[in-house]
Structure 1
Amino acid sequence: MKGSSVKEAAIWLRKGEVVAIPTETVYGLAANAYSVTAVQKIYAVKNRPLSNPLIVHAINTEQVKSLVSDFSPEAEVLAKSFWPGPLTMILPKSADIPDIVTAEQQTVAVRVPSHPLTLELLSILEFPLAAPSANKFNYISPVTAEAVSEMLGNEIPYILDGGRCQKGIESTIVSVEKGQIKILRQGAVTGEQIESVLQRPIVEQHSSVHLHPGMFKKHYSPRTPLILMDSNSDFSSLGSQKNVAAICFSGNFPSASVDKKIMLSNSGDLEEAAQHLYAVLYELDKGNYDLIIAEKMPDKGLGKAINERLIKAAVGAQ
């Protein structure tokens, strides 16, 4: 069932069920973060391996502090700058967080979302929400309630419809440890923004001792084969392909004829491109194309986050 009733969503969550919720990034599949049984249902519905930890969503920074054993000065700065919003911090967990949420690690991924419906929901609940994206494991993340319904509708009792997600890609994940900030997953908050508030350089780390959401090489993947290319790529091999679709950022891509071409942003705006990315991928994946080619984004700001997702989508679609 799909609707906009926060009270209805709360009823199901209090029963120990999973509910799809809107966030500013993508739709999440939520359950009581304190309940092992409820969290197990998230993993079961998604076919998600238990080695992949979840992000816990809280109403505010004060609730986050009850979920962790240490909240450093650096975490305070990041929280004041980016919460509510699309930044996830990995911090030492408190004893209240079950091991199933953290893949048996001693750290937990936490954030305060900014979507008004989900904040209203969190404000009336007695517990925080564990919530990965509301899709099958490794598939394209949904940015509309309709997409969630098509992917999971028969497996969950309620989808809280909050309209289309504003950011369109997942949160940035950073580890905050011993005064050091490391980006573990690129996302809707850019490295440049984080460096600006901290007033010092940060590390972009592609491997980590922390298990974290989005860590697998295959992720965000359509079922249709996808190739990541740039304007200098060799397009000659496309001549033998039938039904090719292209995801484009610049006007001169691709330099070969394709059956369908979708611009992520006509104005070259990376924020707009991020907003459209998953919706376009999902649309093309349902379009019975033999191949999707995607243009590599400029390697700066949100372009890094988009490229990270396209690279993982290409790995998964091969």
Structure 2
Amino acid sequence: MSVKTEKFRPDQVAEGAAVLRRGGLLGIPTETVYGLGANGLDPEAVARIFAAKGRPQDNPLILHVPSADWLERYCADVPGVAYTLAGRFWPGPLTMILKRKPAVPDRVTAGLDTVGMRCPDHMVTRAIIAAAGVPVAAPSGNTSGRPSPTSAADMLEDMDGKIDGIVDGGPCSVGVESTIVDLTVTPPRLLRPGGVTLEELEAVLGEVAVDPAVRRQMGEDEHPRAPGMKYRHYAPKAPVTVVKGAPADAARYIRRHLSEGEGVICFTEFVPLYAGHPVEPIGPADDPAEQARRVFDALRYFDETDVEHIWAMCPDEAGIGLAVANRLNKAAGFHIVEA
């Protein structure tokens, strides 16, 4: 069923909150990517998220709140370290997995006894959530499997006519989805890398385990404990091959194997190597933060071309490079070669 998607300015907080209160779907800006939001306490509204995205039902959602004060409303046995992390990284690109309270519907958690909680670093979205008076369940605002949107225009490509409204809050500053850490296990476990790095988590928590799904494909019989763990995400229409190794080695490997009708995602300094082919730079090799901001734009860019295959250079896994590598590897279905 098609609906008219209203476009709201950042100052139209009350109008955005009204969409959520009446059970509608609202595109919301965050610092990571644009989200597809609904009242997280309304199972029917949450079901509309899955329908609009074509999202698998066993893929849990994250609840977005305006401050750490809201944690006790929806989470049981909140450990002290959750407030320590919130004090350090909220508002910001960090989602914490905590024990849920019965008020949180099964549709949000995919039947799990835990729920992901996040306070986004976007003043407009926090104001809308506070005005709505309910937590907002929100995955990324793309059709399931496509690259995540980092602008309102990106989101409207996928969602115009499927959602009630969208708030244009400008481009996203981080560009990859939030880090997800599970605080219900010992040691805490990194389920998805993002804008808060593994190194930053370790500085607060000490030992942090890295879930195997960060670096490999989950099996069909495995159940994801957080969004983005199991399914082929972030994928453009053409197949992707990720090339790992020192930047110059990876660049030469791609140059040797590049065929007619193929495109390249590469670090900016290597663009001249691929003259005559569609190329999308994602920033300098030594600037993983810029790569994070541009990686989804690069993947989306190739959907506007007729390339048959995409080669992608991959940063090393230090800092936010781990998140960029994870998104590229998922876009490739973990089809990775070593230069």
Shared fold (TM-score, shorter chain, > 0.5): yes
Q: Does 1:246 align with 2:264?
A: yes
User: Conserved in 2, the CA contact under 8 Å of 1:13 and 1:31?
Assistant: yes
Deviations 1:124-151 (A, max 9, x none): 1121100001111111100000111111
Instruction: State the distance in 1 between where 2:334 and 2:52 align.
Output: 20
Deviations 1:262-288 (A, max 9, x none): 321137311111011111211222122
Over 3 Å counting, the alpha-carbon distance change for 1:196 and 1:258 in structure 2 is: farther
Over 3 Å counting, the alpha-carbon distance change for 1:174 and 1:254 in structure 2 is: farther
Q: Does 1:222 align with 2:242?
A: no
Query: CA RMSD, aligned part only?
Result: 2.1
- The one of 116, 125, 131 equivalent to 2:123 is 116
SS at match of 2:23: coil
User: Conserved in 1, the CA contact under 8 Å of 2:224 and 2:230?
Assistant: no
Over 3 Å counting, the alpha-carbon distance change for 1:86 and 1:36 in structure 2 is: same
- Residue matched to 1:211: 225
- Residue matched to 1:160: 167
Instruction: State the distance in 2 between where 1:250 and 1:21 align.
Output: 31
SS at match of 1:227: strand
- Residue matched to 1:85: 92
- Residue matched to 2:327: 309
1:316 deviation in Å? 8.3
Instruction: State the distance in 1 between where 2:133 and 2:14 align.
Output: 13
User: Conserved in 1, the CA contact under 8 Å of 2:174 and 2:289?
Assistant: yes
Over 3 Å counting, the alpha-carbon distance change for 1:196 and 1:317 in structure 2 is: closer
Q: What are the ranges of 5 or more consecutive residues in structure 1 without an aligned counterpart?
A: none
Instruction: State the distance in 2 between where 1:292 and 1:45 align.
Output: 28
- The one of 191, 195, 202 equivalent to 1:188 is 195
Over 3 Å counting, the alpha-carbon distance change for 1:168 and 1:293 in structure 2 is: same
Over 3 Å counting, the alpha-carbon distance change for 1:13 and 1:190 in structure 2 is: same
Alignment of 1:22-171 (within 5 A): 22-171=29-178
Q: Does 1:2 align with 2:2?
A: no
User: Conserved in 1, the CA contact under 8 Å of 2:242 and 2:335?
Assistant: no
Deviations 1:165-187 (A, max 9, x none): 11000000000025521101111
Question: Percent of pairs identical after alignment?
Answer: 36
Instruction: State the distance in 2 between where 1:298 and 1:267 align.
Output: 9
Q: What are the ranges of 5 or more consecutive residues in structure 2 without an aligned counterpart?
A: 1-5, 214-221
Greater than 6 Å deviation, 4+ residue runs: none
Instruction: State the distance in 2 between where 1:75 and 1:211 align.
Output: 18
- Residue matched to 1:283: 301
1:210 deviation in Å? 5.2
1:43 deviation in Å? 0.6
Instruction: State the distance in 2 between where 1:59 and 1:228 align.
Output: 37
TM-score between the two structures when normalised by the length of structure 1: 0.93
SS at match of 2:290: helix
Over 3 Å counting, the alpha-carbon distance change for 1:215 and 1:254 in structure 2 is: farther
1:246 deviation in Å? 1.4
- Residue matched to 2:22: 15
Segment drifting more, 202-211 vs 304-313:
202-211
Instruction: State the distance in 1 between where 2:68 and 2:83 align.
Output: 9
